[in-house]
A and B are shown apart, each in its own frame.
Chain A
């Protein structure tokens, strides 16, 4: 067990060289690589943490924006709904007003047509009745309608003689007006005038008013008193009957409308 000191020195030198070489080719590069990798990992971790923080911040921002948009959308929707409701009410009111106006116009037009129809019917009925009665009397009794009406009117005047006399006593200088729808024969005029002067007094003037617009018959108007002998009562009954028949379908139409 001897120690070769030359070998010892050589081995010390060899070991020193080996330390330097390994430091140069092993420890240095490996430790630098480890440090660099750790630094890179740390940088990535920091970057990831920063990215996570950015992502969280952006998420919060987008969430806030989304909430704001939701609120805005809800408010806009509510405003639109209110506006639509107002518009609907306005249009409803307008349409109802237009419908009411049209219905009123239509009803007025219908009433006017009905009145015109009834008026024309009344006239035609008067003419027809007069023509038929006149012809029947002429053919079957050899009588004139106007004569019979005038004769009957005279008897009616006598029936109301007391009332007419009272009216004549309360009046002064008034004219007794006899309205007819047809021309009276002169003879009948004179008889009526004579009868009236007998009832009312000799000084009372008598005037005959003949017009197609007058009621069919004879009507005396004097000092607020009126004595009439016409077919208006029949015509009123006929008109009432026809008007009743006309109103029935009209009411149904109105209900349907």
Chain B
């Protein structure tokens, strides 16, 4: 039994090998991009909201809300990265129910790639926000003696991200495959349902942890990023 889809080569030629991981990643990308394009291609602010548009708005606003809970203020610049992490992982895991589909997130290569993206994006956002000196200075806190541990921690959490996602998704796929051989009726369906739930949770955890790491790198929000609370809102809360 194949533990990873990387070794499952679908097409080879011109010195290029197309494995299942990349192919199904393209499938997920196609689903996301084409779906978004179909819904938003004729989007006007004054249009009556369709159910698809409303669904997309709910997803985007929810992502924005989750980011705002961790980083108060205007943090829309994080939405594309964090939101794409969540959507890609979530859709990959949801498509598990499609027969023949092998979720790319069950590949350690994919999760490693995502973790590397997080590993790079964290200092990128931190430098963009605080400058090179400001970002690097946090590795010296609370003392310069913590520098090696902070650097190790930076890489270890990226590694933890990759292994956690890979382990959870791969284990679900493997367990479903094993149970399919042992008890082919009903039981794999239950496990697939459990894998769907696990997949959504893992997508959420991956995105939230990425946001937490970015938030720690960016630091506390500047006063200009915090929206003043309207007096009407305070009255409504009272």
Contacts and interface: CB of A to CB of B under 8 A. Distances in A.
Nearest to A34: B57
B10 interface: no
Interface stretch (B29-37, B150-158, B191-199): B29-37
Contacts of B93: none
Given A8-B113, A14-B26, A27-B83, A33 B43 contact: yes
Contacts of A5: 109
A232 B22 CA distance: 164
Interface residues of A, number: 33
A19 B80 contact: yes
A23 B80 contact: yes
Interface residues of B, number: 44
A9 B64 CA distance: 29
B40 A29 contact: yes
B19 A7 contact: yes
A3 B32 contact: no
B80 A22 contact: yes
Contact of B83 (A12, A22, A32): A22
Nearest to A29: B40
Q: Which of B22, B87, B109 has the most CB of A within 10 A?
A: B109
A15 B112 contact: no
A11 B107 CA distance: 10
A7 B109 contact: yes
Nearest to B64: A31
B112 A22 contact: no
Most buried by B among A4, A12, A17, A23: A4
Given A7-B22, A30-B53, A30-B56, 18 more contacts: A4-B4, A4-B6, A4-B19, A4-B109, A7-B19, A7-B113, A8-B109, A11-B109, A15-B114, A18-B32, A18-B33, A19-B80, A22-B33, A25-B36, A27-B80, A31-B60, A34-B60, A40-B45
Interface of A: 1-12, 14-19, 21-23, 25-27, 29-34, 36-37, 40
19 contacts: A4-B19, A6-B17, A7-B19, A8-B109, A9-B113, A11-B109, A12-B113, A15-B84, A15-B88, A16-B117, A19-B80, A19-B84, A21-B36, A25-B37, A26-B36, A29-B43, A30-B56, A31-B60, A33-B44
